[in-house]
């Protein structure tokens, strides 16, 4: 795919389409979006075939004359299509921000010239008649309170060429695109980072004016911080206090939802990645109709039900497709309930399984877990992820996918447009190029989901750190003063000069004095005795965990969770009384051995760095209440072991801290 180029040049000089096609095949009308003609008015002029009030500043669209038309690439266009070209003086950073959906009711062609349409919480296109062809355009930040966060097409047709649909969400079906009784064509394009189950329209920051396009997709939720009467609450108390009901309606098709019994879906040289559905079809849900998917990649998509990459209930044919690193509760790769033919494709490393159902054809493929009755190649495909929009994977040296495809089903070019050898082509969307790639490029999915290693793990999984990595943890930049000279180097006590008379002793399991802590996997412990006049700091050198105090002044001894912060690879907490200070692993606090502590917060804001599940309780296996898009900023009311509680438009839930950025007092 040709990556769209965004520019701040005030005037873009474009060759008129009339010069690119033969006489008699010109588009019906040419309308230019500029400082006088807004995109909204240009679309209205095309729909109404007239100049629109109040300024009459856009050229009128022209009624269909029945003359056949083609675009600049020679593809057929509906007769009478009006072309809208964006060449704006007056946009900021190449972004056009909408204040409402663009309704299409006739045949319209839009050349985006590399610009970005920012939905700003509005659906971007609503196509109810005619056709819409879009090229060289990025559509970002759309939202719908029902279906189709960026695009809805019903009883019409939509074609995307060299375009991107990203960062959009819908309350119900089709996070990016919802197509019903319509033809949908996607060529050299990316559908990335969209979600269903997004409940509420994103709002711009209060201090930002409505026309300030530099806000991008940022969404700020102003919520009141709930003052807690106690410092720590139990999870059960929080669950009882939250009366919000989870999502019970269908939210399938995190990227695309397609339903057209008499229609066709075509996807070629494109990618669907990091889209999320609470139900089925994280990347793509086909409810009915015919689908042809070629030279395309599905990666990093996720579903709460079946089919992380693809859920098929139609008549589909996939050729030279790569389906990797997707996830779902049941089959992260492909789920087939109807008719599906699979040729020369890689389906591997999908969490929950690679494939399910009976395939009508299964030729020249590599399926890693041998599902769907596959009896061919199943070795590690040894893929390298390369950048781009859409991203694609190529086989590296020694991959079993090289030269292993069925020659009868080899396509002429791969996802990038590189020619294939018809007799010895490779399995998957992209061909191997000898000598070009000799190193592993870190997966973009791994960057978005720390700890996954690009393996398609759930965004809420914790990273495992081996002993060698633990030894490499950075020490504190300066020694912490201590009057406990006999402590080992991985334990530090500070604050003895504040009037306290503190002594301490390193403890092993035998001296811990609590079977609950021993059973819970205690990592390190130190006994503090003497007199604590003011809080002192206890720190343990370890990559993770949280600190508790075994209060020896009470009978029976009470386990008191302490607020724990990470400082240069050390886990630290303030201790205000004598007792045994113990570093416990993260899983101890969700084991049920003690009520999980929840700490109230004030002046803490969190921003999502990926699409996240909003969960009913601070656990990765808890019920999902909603999806929260990337780059959403909220006030955090409280935090538990690895989760932060937010009020997301009236729904109180928990977000994993692994995919949040923080500002303010958040520990």
- Name 177's Cβ contacts closer than 8 Å, sequence gap at least 6: 148, 150, 151, 152, 153, 158, 165, 184, 191, 255, 256, 257
Q: Is the pLDDT of residue 257 over 90?
A: yes
For tokens 């040729």, the residue is 343
| Alpha-carbon 83 to chain mean position | 33
609-627 average pLDDT score: 88
Other Cβ atoms less than 10 A from the Cβ of 387: the count is: 9
104-118 average pLDDT score: 90
C-alpha distances (whole Å) from 93 to each of 88, 214, 216, 324 are 11, 8, 10, 34
Residue 411 lies in a domain: yes
Q: What is the DSSP letter of 244?
A: P
Q: CB burial class (10 A; 0-12, 13-18, 19+) of residue 210?
A: exposed
Determine contact, residues 168/147, Cβ cutoff 8 Å: no
pLDDT of amino acid 553? 65
Cα separation, 205 vs 167, in Å, equals: 17
Q: Report DSSP letters for 481-503, one per residue.
A: P-S-TTS-TTEEEE-GGGS-EEE
Residue 394 or 246, more confident: 394
Do 433 and 474 lie in one domain? The reply is no
Q: Name the band, by pLDDT with cuts 50, 70 and 90, for residue 597.
A: confident
Helix (H) or strand (E) holding 39: helix 39-48
Q: CB burial class (10 A; 0-12, 13-18, 19+) of residue 104?
A: buried
Cα separation, 205 vs 209, in Å, equals: 8
Do 169 and 136 lie in one domain? The reply is yes
Other Cβ atoms less than 10 A from the Cβ of 552: the count is: 16
Residue 253 lies in a domain: yes
For tokens 């939202």, the residue is 143
Do 305 and 265 lie in one domain? The reply is yes
Q: Is the pLDDT of residue 471 over 90?
A: no
465-478 average pLDDT score: 34
Q: Is the pLDDT of residue 78 over 70?
A: no
Determine contact, residues 148/123, Cβ cutoff 8 Å: yes
Mean pLDDT of the chain: 76
Q: Is the pLDDT of residue 169 over 50?
A: yes
Residue 362 lies in a domain: yes
Domain final residue pick, 590, 614, 636: 590
Residue 440 lies in a domain: yes
Total domains present in the chain? 2
Do 413 and 520 lie in one domain? The reply is no
Cα separation, 225 vs 635, in Å, equals: 7
Cα separation, 618 vs 652, in Å, equals: 11
Cα separation, 130 vs 159, in Å, equals: 12
pLDDT of amino acid 72? 53
Residue 645: phi, psi to the nearest 5?
-90, 130
Residue 182 lies in a domain: yes
The residues that bridge with 264 in the sheet, in sequence order, are: 290
Do 584 and 436 lie in one domain? The reply is no
Q: Is 199 left (phi over 0), alpha (psi -120 to 50) or beta?
A: alpha
pLDDT of amino acid 434? 66
Q: What's the angle, vertex CA 107, arms to CA 104 and CA 108, rounded to 5?
A: 70
325-347 average pLDDT score: 96
Supply the CATH number for residue 485's domain: 2.60.40
Helix (H) or strand (E) holding 444: helix 444-448
Cα separation, 122 vs 450, in Å, equals: 31
Do 424 and 507 lie in one domain? The reply is no
- Kindly state the percentage of the chain with pLDDT values over 90: 41
Residue 54 lies in a domain: no
- For residue 390, whether the previous peptide bond is cis, meaning omega lies within 30 degrees of 0, is yes
Q: CB burial class (10 A; 0-12, 13-18, 19+) of residue 344?
A: buried
Closest CA to 405 of 343, 316, 340, 342: 343
Residue 461 or 490, more confident: 490
Residue 472 or 36, more confident: 36
Q: Report DSSP letters for 306-363, one per residue.
A: E-SSEEE-SEEEEEEEEEES-EEEE-SSEEESSEEEEES-EEE--BT-SEES--SEEE
Cα separation, 308 vs 331, in Å, equals: 7
Do 426 and 542 lie in one domain? The reply is no
Determine contact, residues 570/536, Cβ cutoff 8 Å: no
482-493 average pLDDT score: 72
Residue 374 lies in a domain: yes
Do 185 and 290 lie in one domain? The reply is yes
Do 395 and 504 lie in one domain? The reply is no
Cα separation, 548 vs 561, in Å, equals: 4
Domain final residue pick, 386, 415, 447: 447
Do 420 and 493 lie in one domain? The reply is no
Q: Is the pLDDT of residue 20 over 50?
A: no
Other Cβ atoms less than 10 A from the Cβ of 65: the count is: 9
Domain containing 496 equals 469-590
Do 436 and 538 lie in one domain? The reply is no
Do 339 and 300 lie in one domain? The reply is yes
Cα separation, 89 vs 10, in Å, equals: 4
Residue 37 lies in a domain: no
Closest CA to 597 of 561, 645, 564: 561
Q: Is the pLDDT of residue 159 over 80?
A: yes
Q: What is the DSSP letter of 189?
A: -
- Name 582's Cβ contacts closer than 8 Å, sequence gap at least 6: 512, 514, 517, 522, 523, 524, 525, 547, 548, 549, 550
Q: CB burial class (10 A; 0-12, 13-18, 19+) of residue 621?
A: exposed
Determine contact, residues 582/547, Cβ cutoff 8 Å: yes
Cα separation, 505 vs 580, in Å, equals: 9
Residue 659 or 506, more confident: 659
The residues that bridge with 636 in the sheet, in sequence order, are: 646
Residue 435 or 593, more confident: 593
Residue 470: phi, psi to the nearest 5?
-65, -35
345-362 average pLDDT score: 96
Q: Is the pLDDT of residue 204 over 80?
A: no
C-alpha distances (whole Å) from 128 to each of 102, 232, 372 are 11, 53, 38
Q: Name the band, by pLDDT with cuts 50, 70 and 90, for residue 112.
A: confident
CB hemisphere CA count around 300 (13 angstroms): 29
Domain final residue pick, 527, 558, 590: 590
- Kindly state the percentage of the chain with pLDDT values over 70: 72
What's the helix, strand, coil split of the chain in %, to 5? 10, 40, 55
């Amino acid at each position: 795919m040709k990556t769209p180029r965004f520019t701040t040049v005030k005037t873009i000089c474009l060759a008129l389409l009339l010069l690119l096609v033969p006489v008699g095949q010109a588009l019906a009308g040419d309308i230019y979006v500029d400082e006088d003609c807004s995109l909204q008015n240009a679309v209205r002029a095309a729909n109404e075939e007239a100049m629109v009030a109040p300024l009459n500043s856009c050229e009128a669209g022209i009624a269909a004359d029945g003359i056949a038309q083609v675009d600049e690439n020679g593809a057929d266009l509906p007769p009478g299509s009006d072309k809208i070209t964006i060449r704006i003086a007056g946009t900021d950073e190449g972004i056009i921000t909408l204040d409402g959906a663009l309704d299409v009711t006739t045949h319209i062609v839009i050349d985006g010239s590399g610009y970005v349409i920012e939905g700003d919480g509005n659906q971007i296109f609503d196509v109810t008649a005619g056709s819409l062809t879009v090229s060289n355009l990025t559509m970002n930040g759309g939202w719908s309170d029902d279906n189709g966060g960026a695009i809805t097409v019903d009883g019409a047709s939509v074609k995307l060429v060299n375009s991107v649909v990203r960062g959009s969400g819908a309350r119900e079906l089709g996070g990016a695109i919802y197509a019903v009784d319509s033809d949908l064509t996607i060529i050299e394009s990316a559908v990335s980072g969209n979600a269903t189950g997004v409940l509420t329209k994103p709002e711009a920051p209060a201090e930002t004016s409505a026309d300030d396009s530099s806000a991008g997709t940022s969404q700020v939720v102003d919520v009141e911080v709930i003052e807690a009467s106690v410092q720590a609450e139990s999870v059960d108390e929080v669950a009882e206090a939250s009366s919000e009901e989870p999502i019970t309606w269908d939210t399938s098709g995190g990227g695309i939802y397609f339903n057209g019994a008499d229609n066709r879906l075509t996807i070629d040289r494109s990618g669907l990645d990091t889209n999320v559905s609470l139900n089925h079809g994280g990347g793509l849900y086909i409810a009915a109709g015919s689908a042809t998917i070629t030279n395309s990649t599905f990666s990093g998509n996720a579903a709460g039900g079946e089919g992380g990459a693809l859920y098929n209930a139609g008549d589909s044919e996939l050729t030279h497709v790569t389906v990797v690193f997707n996830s779902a509760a049941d089959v992260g790769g492909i789920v087939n309930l109807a008719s599906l033919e699979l040729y020369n494709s890689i389906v591997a490393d999908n969490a929950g399984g690679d494939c399910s159902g009976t395939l009508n054809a299964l030729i020249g493929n590599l399926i890693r877990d041998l599902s769907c009755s596959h009896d061919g190649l199943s070795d590690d495909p040894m893929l390298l992820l390369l950048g781009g929009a859409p991203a694609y994977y190529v086989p590296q040296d020694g991959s079993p996918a090289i030269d292993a495809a069925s020659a009868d089903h080899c396509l002429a070019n791969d996802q990038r447009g590189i020619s294939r050898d018809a007799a010895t082509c490779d399995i998957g969307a992209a061909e191997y190029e000898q000598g070009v790639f000799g190193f592993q490029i870190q997966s973009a999915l791994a960057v978005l989901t720390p700890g996954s290693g690009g393996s398609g793990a759930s965004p809420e999984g914790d990273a495992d750190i081996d002993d060698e990595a633990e030894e490499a943890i950075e020490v504190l930049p300066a020694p912490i003063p201590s009057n406990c000279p006999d402590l080992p180097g991985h334990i530090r006590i500070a604050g003895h000069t504040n009037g306290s008379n503190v002594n301490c002793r390193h403890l092993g399991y035998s001296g811990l004095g609590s079977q609950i802590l021993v059973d819970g996997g205690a990592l390190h412990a130190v006994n503090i005795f003497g007199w604590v006049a003011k809080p002192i700091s206890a720190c343990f050198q370890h990559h993770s965990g949280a600190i508790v105090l075994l209060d020896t002044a009470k009978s029976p001894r009470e386990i008191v969770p302490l607020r724990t912060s990470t400082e240069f690879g050390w886990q630290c907490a303030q201790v205000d009384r004598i007792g045994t200070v113990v570093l416990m692993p993260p899983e101890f606090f969700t084991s049920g051995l003690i009520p999980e502590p929840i700490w109230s917060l004030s002046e803490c804001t969190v921003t999502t760095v990926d699409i996240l599940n909003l969960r009913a309780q601070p656990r990765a296996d808890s019920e999902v209440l909603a999806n929260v898009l990337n780059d959403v900023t909220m006030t955090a009311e409280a935090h538990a072991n690895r989760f932060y509680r937010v009020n997301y438009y009236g729904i109180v839930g928990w977000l994993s801290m692994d995919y949040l950025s923080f500002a303010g007092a958040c520990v």
